[in-house]
Amino acid sequence: MNKTKIATACFVVLGLLANCGSVPQTFYYRVDYQIEDLRNGNQAIPLTLGISQFDADVLYEGDRIVYRQSPYQVQFYHYRRWIAAPKKIVTEKVLKQYQASGIFANVVSMPSVTKSDYTLKGEIQAFEEWDEGDSWYGLVTIEFKLQNTDLEIVWKKSLSEKTLIEKKEHIEIVKAISRSLHKVVKRSIEEIKNHLKLENNISSQNNN
């Protein structure tokens, strides 16, 4: 075997070894959905609502996408990750969705120089792919807490939504989780709206 053939063989072997030792590509995903005005012709509630940074169960502190089929076992997609930790993604989406809803006169991110009448806090209890037999779902559960200026919790509720994943593909998993988050936040807006109207004796009609 001449030197050229030996060199070529060496390069081939080195290439194969390099491929065997290469790290798989990491893919990053974001939550995305349409947000809407929910006023239905009514005026905004004349209150300022502050949105605090949400907390998360320790399971969702990192950026890896979680999947489970049992309350007792947890698995991760190591190379499929969120663009940020779920608590940061959720806080941003909650803020934007509440602002766009038009339900409240003013919605601000906390801390803020603007004085708020109420502060909304939350804890992410599920933000994952949930497997049940041959079906897969995007599961989101958030416990919301509404606090007044005296730091009293005036409303508290855990809301959960589970959206069917149409195809077992990573992008479809993200879409299903996005839809579930949208529905959970929308439900929280409606429930807090109704609570604040009762607590502050605000009519459901236009305030003319």
Q: Tell me the pLDDT tens digit for each residue of 135-151.
A: 999 999 999 999 999 99
Residue 15: pLDDT above 60?
no
Give pTM, 2 decimals.
0.86
What does the alpha-carbon distance between residue 158 and residue 125 come to, in Å, rounded to a whole number?
A: 9
Any residues with CB less than 8 A from the CB of 166 and at least 6 apart, and which?
A: 172, 176
Indicate whether 207 pLDDT > 50: no
**Domain residues of the chain, as ranges?**
24-199
Q: How would you classify the pairing of strands 104-109 and 118-132? A: unpaired
> Residue 46: is the preceding peptide bond cis (ω within 30°)?
no
Range 130-139 average pLDDT:
96
Tokens at 183, concatenated: 């529905």
Distance CA 99, CA 124 (A): 20
Higher pLDDT, 88 or 200: 88
Residue 116 buriedness (CB in 10 A; 0-12 / 13-18 / 19+) = buried
Overall size of the chain counted in residues: 208
User: Has residue 169 got a pLDDT over 50?
Assistant: yes
SS3 170: helix
Mean pLDDT of 29-49: 92
Residue bearing tokens 């409240």: 104
Classify domain 24-199 at the CATH topology level: Rossmann fold (3.40.50)
pLDDT of residue 208: 42
The structure tokens 């804890």 sit at: 123
What are the pLDDT digits (tens) for 42-99?
A: 889 999 999 999 999 999 999 999 999 999 999 999 999 999 999 999 999 999 999 9
